[in-house]
Structure 1
Amino acid sequence: MNETIRSKKELFDSIPPFSGGVEEALAEARQGFDRKIVVLDDDPTGIQTVHDVSVYTDWEPESLLQAFEEETSMFFILTNSRGFTQSETIAMHTQIAENILWAAKKTGKKFVVISRGDSTLRGHYPLEPQVLRKVIESDSEICYDGEILMPFFAEGGRFTAGDVHYVAYGDELVPAGQTEFAKDKTFGYTASNLKEYIEEKSGGKTSSKDVVSVSLEELRRCDVAGIRKKLCGLSNCTKVIVNAICYDDVKVFAAALMLAIKDGKEFLFRTAAALPKILGNVSDQPLLERGQLVDAGNPNGGIIVVGSHVSKTTKQLEMLHQASGIEFIEMNQHLVVDEEKFEAEKQRVNEEVQRVLTSGKTAAVYTRRDRFDLNNGNKEDELKMAVKISDAVTGVVASLKVKPRFIIAKGGITSSDVGVKALQVKKALVLGQILPGIPVWKTGDESKFPGTSYVIFPGNVGDDDALLRAVEKMQT
């Protein structure tokens, strides 16, 4: 097994081309597929590939009933569970599963639940699918035959080949277990081979030898019948990993999957953003333009909130300094251990932002680039401290007294908290993407600033100049 850094061109050139018939196979399999697709998003970035679908930020029975009654085949629930402890995640997913079952029974609709996770393999896995399975199988007649793991996400440069998951850095593909993402304080891992990743994350409860793989060779042959047969042969929630380096790979697998579901098989999912798009039959559309995003009559400046600390974000923030009309305001999150000093720091930042916006300029608020870590060996303490810092950053938007011309939030937890806590969004419409993999919400009437375009900018997506380009699109 080759888990060394590879040339993207070399790897892609070594994969056989498709034998044809991909679109026809997908269209044929889609006929009669009538499941409601429920996507549980562990941060707001799972909508990176879709448009004109609803995102709900709560999972009360009435909200899920409304979602099930929508004409569209798919909706998202923003759980933000990547910012939750294990016990909080268990309680949340238990309630969500119970309420999904209630809404499905009320509407008489069958459903598929997708646990949308990070394409760099961070998050509460395998915990979240385990909780969903336990509740749904206990409270219904559903019995899951397989669990699909598919972290492919082309827009972010995440590819799976030979069962190894890679993260693209320019023209190089780095095995995921060798990246900074694998060193995450809360969700770290070492394995790049997805079979071994499952064994590692399950604490050995699932052996890598028991994991089934769908290879690129099968997909490139457009072997829908063979993959369907493989899926129909599964039982007892067997783990399945799916290789993919482009959307046609996803389409072939989705065709086989829908046929297997129509054959009576049931599956759980842990995927990145690609499979929901294809399964939900979401079309491609052009990137959003400024006229679709900004109220030109608003005299106030925009606001950019940066919470993510991955190196990609830091480089993007550095390049943002090339833009004109922006004032940069640093928040010293290291003061979090001193309550009085941290409160004063938050007040200072809030006042500065208010001044900048009313002057018509854009405020870029960011935390110090050197991370603050407790380093006490307790992952949940680290997570709680991260949430406290995120709450401070979120509070900047919550404190605004004027409506900004636009809002951009950088980082998964940050963008979720800005949307749910600061903007008080209950239901949003996904407009599309401002840049590849960077989605935009239109906030609902109930929100703090109704009808505002809210750019959700993942911490780990985009070239070094991506944030600069997004801001320039909003300002010019």
Structure 2
Amino acid sequence: MATLEELTRHIPSGPRVDPAAVARSVADSGRVLVVLDDDPTGTQSVADLPVLTGWSVEDLTWALHQGEPAVYVMTNSRSLDPADARRVNEEVAVAALEASEATGVPVAFVSRGDSTLRGHFPLEPNTLAHVAEQAGSPIDGIVLVPAFADAGRITVGGVHYAGSAADGFTPVGESEFAKDATFGYESSHLRDWVVEKSGGAIAGEDVVLIDLATLRSGEPGQEAARILTEVTGGQVVAPDIVDENDLLLLALALEQAERAGKRFVYRVGPPFGRARIGQSPRTPLSAEDVERISGAGERAPGGLIMVGSHVGLTTRQLDALRERRAPTEIEIDVAAVLDDRRQQHLADIVDEVVAGLGQGNVVVRTSRVLVRGDDADASLDIARQVSAAVVQVVREALARRAPRFVVAKGGITSSDVATLGLQIRRAFVRGPMLPGIVSLWEPVDGPALGIPYIVFAGNVGGDQSLADVVDTLSA
């Protein structure tokens, strides 16, 4: 465990960057970032951007016509096996390039991954790079930026950390996130992590590091840009990042390198997109903001909170919500979902949800004991069956009574609830519910039209964060 002061001692703070300077450069290029989000939590750092849960050429054409510098496409690829993840990334990239040609809007690809390094790497960025190359635009580098300062993920000296300024930082390979049943790992140094996740296909000496002192030295972005212009052949580039200004410095460096002819695919944590387009962090949405976003349709007095994440933080957040607001609680018994009791069990839960919404907020949670299979594939299959049960509950409850709001806790849970449960196809992310984390979507189509939808990652916030968000939504 190390303090931020210990990690950054003797490193200069660097020149300050106005996000508007980055925004102007991005606007001049006319380029739109197509962000392939491996679960919906990547939207928590941005505001007022289009979000798609499908990727037809028509959907992407609609998004590019919105005149915004980025569009988020929900792939839910973290819940897929490698073959399906590759297929989905190919489909999105091909459709985006077709929409780009039809609209005349140039695009670049961002592979938004987990800030604690879980997910399909290097498969996803490599797939996007391959599609770009097939289209005649070879990629010089894969820029790896998992940092997410708002959630306590920083990179210093090539080592990625999880923690907080108050409690200190631990190398992420020593955290609970590295023990993930499907995407576990051992390395904390990004160079070693790339070697580990690529199975040795990428050599450590081929990974380009940009240390914090270099990123912060000289004219804004200049030294980092010099390094980036030398990257070639799809090399992985891993910059140090500690705060928002570091991301803006990197954005300026990338702009300079791209103007010099370099092309990159990005594999990043949530706040990268915000800095890359020069969007200033939005203040958290208030109860009044939520009310303005809500539609005029008739809804139940209570909101629906779906909890699928199993990390320890989520359990503590659920305990705090229970203590503060005493919502109706209903448990999806994973054992029942996995055997012949499934349909009756879920029908009973839907009845309880509909009745509970008439009285107040309702929490539907999966069993807090994580059920794993004998290997990664078996664990993923169990997770899919449980997620399908969550979706069924949401969809059938929504058909009978529209909740005041819906919160989904957990990355894969939030994707499936949005796409399959609420049947959202197009939406706008309107901003965060807490500083830099937890996004609110405004659906613009489907049965959830007018119902605020809150995407809440399993691994962000403090113990009181879920209760704080529900307080705002219930005001």
Question: Normalising to structure 1: TM-score of the pair?
Answer: 0.94
Q: Please point out which of 55, 72, 77 is paired with 1:76.
A: 72
CA gap of 1:24–1:466, structure 2 versus 1, over 3 A, is: closer
1:365 aligns with 2:364: yes
Q: What is the match of residue 113 of structure 2?
A: 117
Q: Relative to 1, partners in 2 of residues 1:30 and 1:131: Cα closer, same or farther, differing over 3 Å?
A: closer
| 1:143 alignment partner in structure 2 | 138
Note the residue ranges of structure 1 that are not aligned, 5 or more in a row.
Answer: none
Residue of structure 2 equivalent to 1:467: 466
Cross-structure match for 1:440: 440
Q: Which residue of 2 aligns with 1:458?
A: 457
Does residue 336 (structure 1) correspond to residue 337 (structure 2)? The answer is: yes
Q: One-letter code of the match for 1:143?
A: P
The correspondence of residues 315-464 of structure 1 with structure 2, limited to 5 A, is: 315-324=316-325, 326-338=327-339, 340-358=340-358, 360-374=359-373, 376-377=374-375, 379-400=376-397, 401-436=400-435, 437-444=437-444, 446-464=445-463
Partners of 2:18 and 2:211 in 1: how far apart?
Answer: 16
The correspondence of residues 38-57 of structure 1 with structure 2, limited to 5 A, is 38-57=34-53
Q: How far, CA to CA, are the matches of 1:65 and 1:28 in structure 2?
A: 23
C-alpha separation between the residues in 2 aligned to 1:311 and 1:80? 22
Equivalences for 1:2-151 in 2 at 5 Å?
5-20=1-16, 26=22, 29-30=25-26, 32-138=28-134, 140-151=135-146
1:355 CA displacement? 0.9
Q: CA deviation at 1:109?
A: 2.6
Aligned to 2:311: 310
Query: Which amino acid is the alignment partner of residue 174 of structure 1?
Result: T
Which letter maps to 1:217?
A: A
Report if the CA contact (8 A) 1:427-1:443 is conserved.
yes
The 8 Å contact of residues 9 and 171 in structure 1, kept in 2 or not, is answered as no
Q: List per-residue Cα deviations over 1:174-194 (Å, max 9, x = no partner).
A: 111111111111111110000
Match among 196, 200, 209 for residue 196 of structure 2: 200
Percentage of pairs with the same residue = 35
Identify the residue that residue 180 of structure 1 maps to in structure 2: 176
C-alpha offsets along residues 56-75 of structure 1, whole Å, 9 cap, x if unaligned?
11111111122222211111
Classify 1:21/1:56 alpha carbon distance in 2 versus 1 (closer, same or farther; 3 Å): closer
Distance 1:423 1:23 in 2: 35
Question: Secondary structure of the residue that 1:459 maps to in structure 2?
Answer: coil
When residues 53 and 205 of structure 1 are mapped into structure 2, their CA distance, relative to the original with a 3 A threshold, is same
CA contact (8 A) 2:27 2:69 kept: no
Report the alpha carbon displacement of residue 308 of structure 1 after superposing the two structures with TM: 0.2
**In 2, distance between residues paired with 1:326 and 1:27?**
43
Task: Give, in angstroms, the shift of residue 15 of structure 1.
Answer: 3.1
Gaps of 5+ in 2: none
What is the deviation of 1:226? 2.0
SS in structure 2 of the partner of residue 18 of structure 1:
coil
Which stretch of the first structure deviates more once superposed, 160-169 or 17-26? 17-26
- In the TM superposition, what are the counterparts of 1:182-261 in structure 2 within 5 Å? 182-223=178-219, 224-261=221-258
2:266 to 264, 269, 272: 269
Contact 2:33 2:109 in 1 (8 A): yes
Alpha-carbon contact 2:338-2:385 (below 8 Å) kept: no
Structure 1 residue identity aligned to 2:64: F
Find 2:153's aligned residue among 147, 154, 158. 158
Separation in 2, partners of 1:385, 1:449: 27
Shifted more, 107-116 versus 414-423: the winner is 107-116
Q: Helix, strand or coil for the counterpart of 2:68?
A: coil
Deviations 1:302-345 (A, max 9, x none): 1111000000001111111122351111121122331x212222
Counterpart residue type for residue 355 of structure 2 = R
Listed as ranges, the matches of 1:278-297 within 5 Å are 278-294=275-291
Cα deviation, 1:224-266, whole Å, max 9, x if unaligned, reads: 2222121111111111001110011111111010111111111
Q: Which amino acid aligns with 1:460?
A: N
Contact 2:299–2:401 (CA<8 Å) still a contact in 1? no
Contact 1:163-1:241 at 8 Å conserved across structures: yes
Q: CA RMSD in A?
A: 1.8
Return the alpha-carbon distance in structure 2 between the equivalents of residues 61 and 349 of structure 1: 38
- Which deviates more from structure 2 when the two are superposed, residues 328-337 or residues 290-299? 290-299
TM-score (structure 2 length as normaliser): 0.94
Q: How far does residue 101 in structure 1 lie from its aligned partner after superposition?
A: 1.7
Judging changes above 3 Å, is the alpha-carbon distance between structure 1 residues 423 and 23 closer, same or farther for their aligned structure 2 residues? closer
Count of aligned positions: 466
Cα drift, residue 29 of structure 1: 4.9
